[in-house]
Amino acid sequence: MGIQITPSILNADFANLGAEVARIPSADMVHVDVMDNHFVPNLTFGPTMVEALARSTNIPLDAHLMIEDPDRHAPTYVEAGCASVTFHVEAARAPVRLAREIRAAGGRASMALRPATPVEPYEDLLPELDMLLLMTVEPGFGGQKFLDMVLPKLRRTRAMVERHGLQTLLQVDGGVSLETIERCAEAGADVFVAGSAVYSAADPDAMIAALREKGDA
């Protein structure tokens, strides 16, 4: 199976989101960054807007919840039409229950780790997850510099997934570009979020193809 490119709309034109998503027809999923001004110092949108976006496209939505109390809010994003819902482990009270609730609601369950959050405590939780997101910047803003310090953790996570014979996808998010995608792929990532790289390109869909080619090499 090839890699997946999941562009983030954080750097797209928020006044024209439907049209912005129509510019990336070859995206595997559209990465939707939900921020609440508490878990991260930035504010984007909530379930009502996500639901409208889900209705406007056939591309599956990949919600990345950078919010407090995901235990309460995450299932709402499955109901809003997201195919995959990622919560942050640093904010979750009961990650196992939450992952199961997301799956029970019909979504794919995913958990995110900030750059300094170790993966080892969560090894036994991996079978509960369809995807694990390793942040390669501190969450909150697009356009930040890729953190190479996360690569050893990515390698260790890939080894864990293989050791247990799991299908858990490994996603990276933050500073992913033509310059950094090969490093991530080599370290074991198979799903790549790219925000500014895609939406600062003259042709966002051509950038997806270029990223796919580099990451799949």
Q: Which of 96, 53, 46 is nearest to 67 (CA)?
A: 46
Nearer CB in complex with Zn ion: 66/210:
66
Window 163 to 182, contacts with Zn ion (CB under 5 A): 173
Q: Is 70 in the site for ligand DX5 (CB under 6 A)?
A: no
- The answer to whether 196 contacts ligand DX5 (rule: CB under 6 A) is yes
142 is an interface residue for ligand DX5 by CB under 6 A: yes
Reduce the DSSP state of residue 55 to 3 states and report it. Answer: helix
Site for ligand DX5 contains 139 (CB under 6 A): yes
**Within 13 Å, how many C-alpha atoms sit on residue 205's CB side?**
8
Q: Per CB under 6 A, does 31 bind ligand DX5?
A: yes
Q: Is 56 annotated as a binding residue?
A: no
Measured at the CA of 124, the angle between CA 148 and CA 133, to 5 degrees, comes to 35
User: Can you read off the two tokens belonging to residue 167?
Assistant: 């299908």
Ligand-binding site membership of 203 (annotated): no
Verify binding: residue 130, ligand DX5, rule CB under 6 A: no
Q: Which does 215 bind (CB under 5 to 8 A by kind): ligand DX5, Zn ion, none?
A: none
The dihedral sign for the CA sequence 98, 172, 121, 164: positive
- Closest to 112 measured CA to CA, from 139, 142, 93, 94: 139
Q: Does 143 bind ligand DX5 (CB under 6 A)?
A: yes
The region of 20-28, 149-157, 174-182, 184-192 touching ligand DX5 under the rule CB under 6 A is 174-182
How far apart are alpha carbons 134 and 189 in whole angstroms?
9
- C-alpha distances (whole Å) from 188 to each of 53, 90, 100, 134 are 31, 23, 25, 11
- Tell me: does residue 23 bind Zn ion (CB under 5 A): no
Candidate residues 23, 64, 88, 108; the one interacting with Zn ion per rule CB under 5 A: 64
Using CB atoms within 10 Å of the CB of residue 13, give its burial: 0 to 12 exposed, 13 to 18 middle, 19+ buried: exposed
Nearer to ligand DX5, 78 or 197 (CB): 197
Rounded Cα distance between 211 and 14, Å, is 24
Q: Is 10 in the site for ligand DX5 (CB under 6 A)?
A: yes
Give residues in contact with Zn ion (CB under 5 A): 33, 64, 173
Q: Which residues are annotated as a binding site for a divalent metal cation?
A: 31, 33, 64, 173
Residues that bind ligand DX5 (CB under 6 A): 8, 10-11, 31, 33, 64, 137, 139-144, 173-176, 193-197
Give the residue numbers annotated as catalytic, written as ranges.
33, 173
